[in-house]
Amino acid sequence: MTATIIIPPNADPNSELESHPQLENTPEISHESEPKKVISLEDFLVKPADRMEWVDGNLVEKTGITFKHSLAQSKLARFWGNYKDSSGQGGEVLTEILCRTSKRGRRPDVAYITPELLPESGNFTAFSQSFPLIAEVASPEDSGEELFAKAQEYLESGCLEVWLLFPETRLVFVNAGQSWRLFNADEVVNTQSVLAGFSVAVSELLA
C-alpha cells in the first residue's frame, strides 16, 4: 500500500515543517537522503500508532486501500482462518498486526501465526519477529519493487513463506525462501511450507 510519512505533533516545528513543507498536504514520500529520526523502533513497538509502520526512523502510514484491496485481504484472511480450523492445525490468522523485522516495524495485510509461536497470554501489541506466513496485497499505487523488497525483509526476519497478491492483474506470487512462483488467474495457488495443504483458485481469491 502507499506510504505517507507522518511528522509527529511534538516534533520541532521549525526544523521539521521548514525542511518538509510539502508533507502536510501530499501523499508522497519525502526522498530526502537523510530523513530525520523522529522516534526509536523500541519506543514505537511499545506504543505503536494505529495504521503506522516504522521505517528508518519515520512513522509511515498505510494508505491507498481500494475496494479490491480490502476484498482480497478479507477473503484471504477468511480462507486461511477457515482452513487452519478445519485442518486442525490451529494457530491464528491476523490482519495488520505489528511485527518486528530485522530492520523495521511492519503491519502485514494478512498473517498466520502457528500455535507454537502464540504467546501464553494470548495477547501482544507487536510480535518479536516476522510471522511464519505473511501476505501483502498490492494497491494500484504500490511499487512492485517495494513490495518484493518488503517480502525479502520478512523472509530475512523469521518468515517462512510470503504471498504477494495483485488484485488488478489477478496474479499471486509465492516465495517459501528460495524462489518466486507465479500463479495466474486460471491456476490454483497453494501454500508451500506453512499451513500445509491449503489451496484456493486465484480466480476465487481475486474475483
pLDDT digits (tens, 9 = 90+) for 119-175: 886 677 888 899 999 999 998 877 889 999 999 999 999 999 999 999 999 999 999
Tell me the pTM: 0.73
174-189: average pLDDT: 96
Distance (Å, whole) CA 197 – CA 88: 12
**Average pLDDT over the chain, rounded to an integer:** 81
pLDDT recorded at residue 23: 36
- Residue 33 pLDDT > 60: no
- Residue 30 pLDDT > 60: no
Per-residue pLDDT band at 182 (split at 50, 70, 90): very high
3-state secondary structure labels for all residues of 64-118: CCCHHHHHHHHHHHHHHHHHHHHCCCCCEEECCCEEECCCCEECCCEEEECHHHC
61-80: average pLDDT: 88
Per-residue pLDDT band at 49 (split at 50, 70, 90): low
Render pLDDT for 89-134 as a digit per residue (tens, 0 to 9): 999 999 999 999 988 889 999 999 999 998 886 677 888 899 999 9
Which bin fits 170, alpha (ψ -120 to 50), beta or left (φ > 0)? left
Distance (Å, whole) CA 86 – CA 167: 26
pLDDT recorded at residue 103: 80
Nearest to residue 84, comparing CAs of 96, 72, 76? 76
pLDDT recorded at residue 31: 40
pLDDT recorded at residue 53: 73
9-16: average pLDDT: 46
Greater confidence, 124 or 193?
193
- Determine the 3-state secondary structure of 14 from DSSP: helix
Distance (Å, whole) CA 98 – CA 163: 17
Greater confidence, 75 or 43?
75
What letter represents residue 6's amino acid?
Answer: I
Greater confidence, 31 or 190?
190
Greater confidence, 58 or 27?
58
